[in-house]
Structure 1
Amino acid sequence: MIQVFCARRGSGKTKRLIELANNQYLESKGDSVYIDDDCRPMFQLHSGIRFVETNEFRVCDCDSFYGMLCGIISSNYDIENIYIDGLSNIVKCTMKESTELFKKIAGITEKFGINVYINVNVDNSEEVPDCIKEYVA
């Protein structure tokens, strides 16, 4: 399952994603991973949630991001939830270019039974392609 949270920068998406991760950590049976390009949220997350800062791995486009996701999943089959904060900050591409990335993520969520929650910065809802709108919460 993919769930996308779209709103403008500074609207509180990160705070809500951190709260979601911390609350679900207490209830989930599997492992959780929080992915961001900024290490500040690391200190607000439960210590049992694996934090991955993308800058350490030079993730900059959709292909490298997808490869990193596959690596995370292949190294731990117990992952239940993945939280991606600020996808538009991590991968430098337009929303339309990220459509293929969302299709690939949908494929691995189905195959491995993983929930993926993604924060995306948008100024208005017209920026979001139709194929991504189906995942918007």
Structure 2
Amino acid sequence: MVQLIVGNKGKGKTTQLLEKVNSEIKEIAGNIVYLDKNTKHMYELNNKVRLIDVSQYMIEDSDEFVGFVSGIISQDHDLQQMYFDNFLKIACLEGQDILAAMNKLEKLSNNFDVDFILSISMDESQLPEGLKEKVIVSL
């Protein structure tokens, strides 16, 4: 399943994402990975959550990002959830159509039973029609 936390920049999406990940780690049996553009939120995350600074991995487009996510999934058979903060930035999708990448993430989610929770700096009204049903928080 893919879930979205959407809202314009500075509206509190990261706070919502951090609250969700820290509450989920207490409830689920599997592992959680948190992808971000830096390590700024390292101390706000539960120490059982694996934080990955995507900027360190020379990802240049959304296909490389999906490949990166696939590699993480392939290395952890206990992976249950992945959180993507600043999704448009870390997936190299700023100012681009996000539908193709979202469809690939949905397929990965279904194939490997991993849930993806994304924060997207975009107003809900700007989302493609097929993605609006995935919104869990709109700020």
TM-score bracket, normalised by the shorter chain, equals over 0.9
Correspondence for 2:125: 126
Offset, 1:69: 0.4
RMSD of the alignment, in Å? Answer: 1.3
Correspondence for 2:116: 116
Deviates more, 1:23-32 or 1:127-136: 127-136
Residue 26 of structure 2 aligns to a residue whose secondary structure is: helix
Offset, 1:34: 0.2
Correspondence for 1:72: 72
Residue 27 of structure 1 aligns to a residue whose secondary structure is: coil
| 8 Å contact from structure 1 (residues 21, 83) kept in 2 | yes
Offset, 1:94: 4.8
Correspondence for 1:37: 37
Identical residues among aligned pairs (%): 26
Offset, 1:60: 3.0
Correspondence for 1:28: 28
The list of structure 1 runs, each at least 4 consecutive aligned residues, that deviate by more than 6 angstroms after superposition, is: none
The runs of 5 or more residues in structure 2 that have no matched partner are none
AA partner of residue 130 (structure 2):
C
Offset, 1:130: 1.2
Separation in 1 of the partners of 2:115 and 2:24? Answer: 11
TM-score, normalised to structure 1, is 0.93
Separation in 2 of the partners of 1:56 and 1:7? Answer: 26
Separation in 2 of the partners of 1:114 and 1:125? Answer: 24
